[in-house]
């Protein structure tokens, strides 16, 4: 093949071509770095929803359970997140503590802690509920995992004294450990026949959607804590 001719200024043209080649390489490296940084910033926050039947999705299709609806709502807002369902129907706070290690695997950034309703329904001593939740929180904090604590109200038939002691567990624990608190997981749902199943307690698909809407600001605050920690 005949060599290309650049007329009277071959050296100048070659130097110019070399400059453009270098600039192109620099631009490519800069773009790669920027894309890499953006990709790292968008690593999905790993959240585990640790709870009982209210989390598990009792009598609901898997796609309607709280963790799934929450993840879908967060992603719709452009938030990179993965929410694992670690809900076990009938679980107490003691049960959650017993399975904590395998329910919350390594790599978890945050936990939404929704336990205590079954303690209350069984009339268990609120001191035992407080003790189990305190130990769960202690272990999670030792693993550098952020916690959003969900509160629960007591059934009226258990009496005023029991209700006051039980319900105080959640705000007390949140205040003592600097946790984000969602005061009542079933806020706006319990008591609404259109949002609960026939048992009057477990939410329907629409009830779960209502919970997701209510808790969303607290979950966003939880994610902000995780992101801030990653940058520090």
Q: Starting from the edge strand earliest in sequence, which strands make up the sheet with 81-87, in order?
A: 81-87, 45-51, 110-114, 146-150, 180-182
Asked if residues 66 and 87 have their Cβ atoms less than 8 Å apart, the reply is yes
Residue 72: inside a domain: yes
Q: What is the pLDDT of residue 10?
A: 45
Question: pLDDT for 81-105, tens place per residue?
Answer: 999 999 999 999 999 999 999 999 9
Nearest to 58 by CA among 213, 214, 152, 198: 198
Confirm whether 1 is domain-assigned: no
The pLDDT value recorded for residue 92 is 98
On whether both 36 and 93 belong to a single domain, the answer is no
Looking at the structure, do residues 166 and 108 belong to the same domain, yes or no? yes
Is residue 49 within a helix (H) or strand (E), and if so which, with residue range? Answer: strand 45-51
Strand ranges (E), 142-189: 146-150, 180-182
Structural domains in the chain (count) = 2
Report d(CA 186, CA 16) in Å as an integer. 69
Task: List the single range of 22-31, 112-121, 122-131, 213-222 with lowest mean pLDDT.
Answer: 22-31
The per-residue pLDDT of the chain, averaged, comes to 88
pLDDT of residue 42: 72
Per-residue pLDDT at 142: 98
Q: What are phi and psi for residue 77, nearest 5 degrees? A: -90, 5
Q: Are residues 33 and 95 in the same domain?
A: no
Same domain, 33 and 87: no
Q: Output the six-digit token pair for 74.
A: 């967060």
What is the structure's pLDDT at 41? 54
Among the residue ranges 35-49, 53-67, 178-192, the one predicted with the least confidence is: 35-49
The catalytic residue positions are 53, 199, 202
Q: Give residue 15's pLDDT.
A: 53
Question: What span, in angstroms and rounded, lies between the C-alpha atoms of 41 and 222?
Answer: 16
Is there a single domain that holds both residue 58 and residue 26?
A: no
Structural domain including 26 reads 7-42
Asked if residue 19 and residue 99 are part of one domain, the reply reads: no
Tell me whether residue 154 is in a domain.
yes
Q: Check whether residue 70 and residue 166 sit in a common domain.
A: yes
| Together in a domain, 15 and 121 | no
Q: What is the DSSP-derived secondary structure letter of residue 62?
A: G
- The alpha carbons of the chain give a radius of gyration, in whole angstroms, of 26
The answer to whether residue 206 sits within a structural domain is yes
- pLDDT at position 1 is 43
123 shares its domain with 159? yes
Query: 169 and 184 in one domain?
Result: yes
**CA 104, CA 115: separation in Å to the nearest integer?**
14
Give yes or no: residues 125 and 83 share one domain: yes
Q: Is residue 133 part of a domain?
A: yes
159 and 227 assigned to the same domain:
yes
| Residues 151 and 168 sit within 8 Å (Cβ to Cβ) | no
- Tell me if 2 is assigned to some domain: no
Overall size of the chain counted in residues: 232
Q: Is the pLDDT of residue 69 over 70?
A: yes
């Amino acid at each position: 093949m005949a060599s290309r001719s650049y007329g009277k200024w071959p050296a100048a043209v070659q130097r110019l071509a070399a400059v453009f080649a270098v600039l192109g390489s620099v631009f490519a490296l800069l773009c790669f770095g920027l894309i890499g940084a953006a990709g790292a910033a968008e690593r999905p926050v790993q959240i585990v929803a640790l709870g009982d039947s209210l989390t598990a999705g009792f009598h609901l299709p898997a796609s309607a359970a709280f963790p799934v609806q929450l993840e879908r709502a967060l992603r719709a807002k452009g938030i990179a997140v993965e929410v694992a369902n670690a809900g076990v129907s009938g679980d107490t706070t003691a049960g959650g503590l017993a399975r904590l290690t395998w329910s919350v695997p390594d790599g978890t950034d945050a936990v939404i802690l929704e336990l205590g309703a079954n303690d209350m329904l069984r009339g268990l001593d609120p001191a035992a509920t407080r003790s189990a939740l305190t130990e769960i929180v202690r272990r999670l904090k030792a693993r550098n995992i952020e916690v959003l604590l969900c509160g629960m109200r007591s059934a009226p038939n258990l009496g005023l004294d029991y209700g006051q002691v039980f319900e105080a567990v959640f705000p007390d624990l949140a205040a003592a450990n600097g946790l984000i608190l969602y005061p009542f997981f079933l806020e706006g749902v319990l008591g609404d026949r259109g949002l609960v199943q026939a048992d009057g307690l477990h939410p329907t698909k629409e009830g779960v959607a209502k919970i997701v809407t209510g808790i969303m600001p607290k979950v966003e605050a939880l994610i902000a804590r995780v992101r801030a920690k990653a940058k520090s």
